[in-house]
């Protein structure tokens, strides 16, 4: 039942009594931010959707506000309005920052996006430290440790409420597995662990639900396809950015799951990149159980009984993910 609940686009069900959460999107006028704003405006759990960007918010706000779903729409344009966009927010989504062009790695975005994320999370720490924070900006392996370090410096870090959004890796895995094995999409759930870049993305195909058997060739091809899916989109867009629509869809699913958990649903599981003790790495993506206060439990059972192939990838990804994490932490600690 959990798999079906997550895979269904639940936003379409109208329930005005349930709408009471305020959600702020930082980077709302971007390629991800715009469609994500629309999907969040459709959520029955949201009473207010706040759109913040450094430019171009006014038109999007007017446009979105005409949709007859319950959430109020408020626009905040420019840094002077950042604090107002955050005060009282229950959940903050961060898709702000530059996307890749062909030939770039996600880590190549660090030089620009690290400062953007740092600045925005400082404002979150000052104005809504209790909010759930969903980081989308790349390189995710480093931007989440940056956010954690900023919150620590401000004395308001709650590791249970800080998430790197890796839902797109799960969405892709579910889609590709269902297509390959001719399964109904709504039934398929593949846990994806590790990080969110190339070979740090580890889909645990052996843990696919429902139980599916794959040949070695299928496992290798599907793993490569999932790890490379972001790059496939970057190349297809030929310099015009990276995944936006599938990312907005995935981020909306993660927002919806988080709000359902906040609202008391006791059966909410998602993969996310969070502070973790499942491995020796300080941050690690795994399935987590979500509750009213954020992460309630990390699901360790997915990492037991791995195939030899999965265990090898897991060991191989650790040095890279560790370096990405350390780079993020050092970036904040080095600042005056
Ligand atoms: P985009 O360039 O279309 O939009 C980014 C938006 O961020 C722009 O509107 C820009 O004005 C805004 N912005 C820049 N600096 C800002 C600041 N200081 N405060 C607020 N807003 C600011 O890019 P996009 O396609 O929406 O991608 C955004 C980010 O998401 C990229 O870093 C991309 O790599 C990442 N991404 C992550 C995933 C994932 O799975 N986690 C998937 C796709 C994209
Ligand atoms: C993705 O996986 O689509 C994102 O991380 C964007 C990218 O640069 O590939």
pLDDT of residue 4: 65
Query: 146: which 2 tokens?
Result: 């940056």
Burial 32-52 (b: 16+ CB within 10 A, else e): bbbbbbbbbbbbbbbbbbbbb
For a ligand 2 pocket test, name from 233, 241, 251 the mutation site with the most ligand atoms within 8 angstroms of its C-beta: 233
What is the three-state SS of 5-19?
HHHCCHHHCCCHHHC
Is the alpha carbon torsion for 157, 139, 120, 331 positive or negative? positive
Query: 301: which 2 tokens?
Result: 């059972």
CA of residue 197 to ligand 2 center, whole Å:
8
The minimum-distance atom of ligand 1 relative to the CA of 106 is 34
Mean pLDDT, residues 14-42: 89
- Please give the ipTM for the structure prediction: 0.99
- Proximal ligand: closest to the CA of 251: 1
Query: Whole-prediction pTM value?
Result: 0.96
For residue 68, pLDDT over 70 is answered with yes
Query: 185: which 2 tokens?
Result: 């999409």
- Proximal ligand: closest to the CA of 82: 1
Q: Is 196 annotated in the active site?
A: yes
**235 contacts 103 by C-beta, under 8 angstroms:** no
**DSSP annotation of 264:** T
The predicted-structure confidence for 316-332, as pLDDT tens digits, reads as follows: 999 999 999 999 999 99
Q: Which of 20, 66, 134, 196 is catalytic?
A: 196
Who lines ligand 1 at CB under 6 A? Answer: 26-27, 29-33, 53-55, 95-100, 109, 113, 116, 119-120, 136-138, 140, 165, 168, 196, 241-244, 247
pLDDT of residue 8: 57
CA of residue 273 to ligand 1 center, whole Å:
18
The predicted-structure confidence for 80-105, as pLDDT tens digits, reads as follows: 999 999 999 999 999 999 999 999 99
The minimum-distance atom of ligand 2 relative to the CA of 100 is 8
């Amino acid at each position: 039942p959990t798999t079906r609940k997550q895979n269904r686009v639940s936003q379409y069900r109208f329930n005005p009594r349930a709408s009471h959460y305020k959600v702020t999107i930082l980077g709302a006028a971007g390629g991800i931010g715009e469609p994500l704003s629309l999907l969040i405006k459709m959520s029955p759990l949201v009473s207010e959707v706040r759109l913040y960007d450094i430019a171009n918010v006014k038109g999007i706000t007017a446009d979105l506000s005409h949709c007859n779903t319950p959430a109020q729409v408020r626009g905040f344009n420019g840094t002077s309005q950042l604090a107002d966009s955050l005060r009282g927010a229950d959940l903050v989504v961060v898709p702000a920052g530059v996307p890749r062009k062909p030939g770039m790695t996600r880590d190549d975005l660090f030089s620009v996006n690290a400062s953007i994320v740092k600045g925005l999370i400082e404002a979150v720490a000052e104005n809504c430290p209790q909010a759930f924070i969903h980081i989308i900006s790349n390189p995710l392996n480093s931007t989440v440790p940056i956010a954690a370090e900023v919150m620590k410096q401000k004395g308001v870090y709650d590791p249970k409420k800080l998430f790197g959004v890796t839902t797109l890796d799960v969405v892709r895995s579910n889609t590709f597995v269902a297509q390959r094995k001719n399964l109904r999409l709504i039934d398929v759930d593949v846990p994806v662990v590790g990080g969110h870049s190339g070979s740090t993305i580890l889909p645990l195909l052996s843990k696919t639900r429902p139980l599916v058997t794959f040949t070695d060739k299928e496992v290798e091809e599907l793993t490569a396809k999932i790890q490379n899916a972001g790059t496939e989109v970057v190349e297809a867009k030929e310099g015009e950015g990276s995944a936006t629509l599938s990312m907005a869809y995935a981020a909306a699913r993660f927002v919806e799951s988080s709000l359902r958990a906040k609202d008391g649903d006791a059966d909410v599981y998602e993969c996310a990149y969070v502070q973790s003790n499942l491995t020796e790495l300080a941050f690690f993506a795994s399935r987590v159980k979500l509750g009213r206060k954020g992460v309630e439990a990390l699901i360790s059972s997915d990492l037991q009984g791995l195939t030899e192939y999965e265990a090898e990838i897991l060991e191989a990804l650790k040095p890279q993910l560790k370096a990405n994490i350390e780079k993020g932490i050092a970036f904040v600690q080095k600042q005056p």
